[in-house]
Amino acid sequence: MRFLYLTDTHCRGNSPTNRIDNYVSSLMLKLKEVACLAQEWEVTAILHGGDLWDLPNPSMSVAESYLSQLEAAGIPIYVIAGNHDLYRQDLSSIPYTMLGLQAAQGRLRIINSRDRLYFQNRNVRVQITGQPYHLEIDRRDPGLDYCVTKRDCDYAIHLVHGNLMAGCDFPGSIHTHLSQVNKTEADLTLVGHMHFGFPDYYYEGKWFINIGALARLTNHLEEFNRTLQVLLIDLSLGHTELRKLPLKSVLPANQVLDRNKAEYTARQVQCLIKSVLEARNEEEFINSQLKEVVDFIGIQEGMSREIRQEALRSVHAKLGTGQRDS
């Protein structure tokens, strides 16, 4: 029994401003390759870790063109909802989204937080669970979202769309550290949402893996060194083999992203961080929130919202403070 996992495809009908190629055709080729890999490895199911769509309401023609690429494999598709799949990041909106419509049509299966799916052959019985994104993920008890129990199975896989991190150099805001979820009984926890991924983590016989997004949406410098890949979970040989499969259809990052713009943005972020750290204890800002300081200085310097957000995340990381996503 084998499964193929991918995450954060962010399918959309146009190219992000940071792309210099045709994002749509590039992503189509990736999904076509994923379908071919699923057939080649004769997988039981394709698993998607959330943010299948970049917006919850793509046009029917856009949705059809993308999903048909994966459907060409003739293999069932199982998905958890990511924040981009939802209206206002609200799980109750699923019936009104493209994800909900495609599930109602039977074209894919949504894994909800209370679902336990089972797959079995003569060698192994596999349990698959999932935790979709919701507004309290990474803010409430991590055990509620990241920890699951094994019931009547040999191997358990848990999919989560949240900010689970392996290290302390978290460049975002609210997150959950791996040390907080070691009590899970899942043999394999697969994480989406954080596009850069993190190094594979193995603890007491359990794997925690984020292979990174299948899409490159931003000009962040880390995107120039990141491998775009899927994960093959092979349980067919009496033992577990986890194999990362880099996609051959992926163009080099410097052919799809503007490195000069990325480096310019990085310099602007660093300048804003320096200014904020120097200014935050001045009398003018002594009673101000960090976001207010960042916005005040950033707007005065003509810096974009994207740069201000990145600087705010980095300042919080440097100071060891938390921040709710804006």
Tokens for 112, please give them.
Answer: 């909800």
- Dist CA 79 CA 103 (whole Å): 9
- Dist CA 120 CA 126 (whole Å): 6
Average pLDDT over residues 301-324: 77
Strand order in the sheet with 229-234: 109-110, 77-79, 45-48, 2-6, 229-234, 241-246
Average pLDDT over residues 113-126: 94
The per-residue pLDDT for 259 is: 84
Average pLDDT over residues 45-65: 97
Residue 101: strand, helix, or coil: helix
* Short-list 42, 36, 43, 49, CA closest to 8: 49
Average pLDDT over residues 3-19: 95
Average pLDDT over residues 315-326: 60
Report whether 191 contacts 208 (CB < 8 A).
yes
**pLDDT single digits (tens) 98-108:** 999 999 999 99
Q: What is the mean pLDDT of the chain?
A: 91
Report whether 134 contacts 93 (CB < 8 A).
no
Of all helices (H) and strands (E), which one includes residue 137?
none
The per-residue pLDDT for 13 is: 96
Confidence check: pLDDT of 326 > 50: no
The per-residue pLDDT for 324 is: 44
> Which residue is associated with the tokens 């775009």?
228
- Dist CA 66 CA 84 (whole Å): 16
Report whether 86 contacts 92 (CB < 8 A).
no
Tokens for 157, please give them.
Answer: 């896989």
User: What is residue 73's DSSP assignment?
Assistant: T
**pLDDT single digits (tens) 165-219:** 876 544 445 789 999 998 999 999 999 999 999 999 999 899 999 999 999 998 8
The per-residue pLDDT for 131 is: 98
- Dist CA 65 CA 95 (whole Å): 21
Confidence check: pLDDT of 86 > 70: yes
Q: CA angle, 233 as apex, 131 and 139 as ends, to 5°?
A: 20
The per-residue pLDDT for 117 is: 98
Confidence check: pLDDT of 322 > 70: no
Tokens for 283, please give them.
Answer: 């009398």
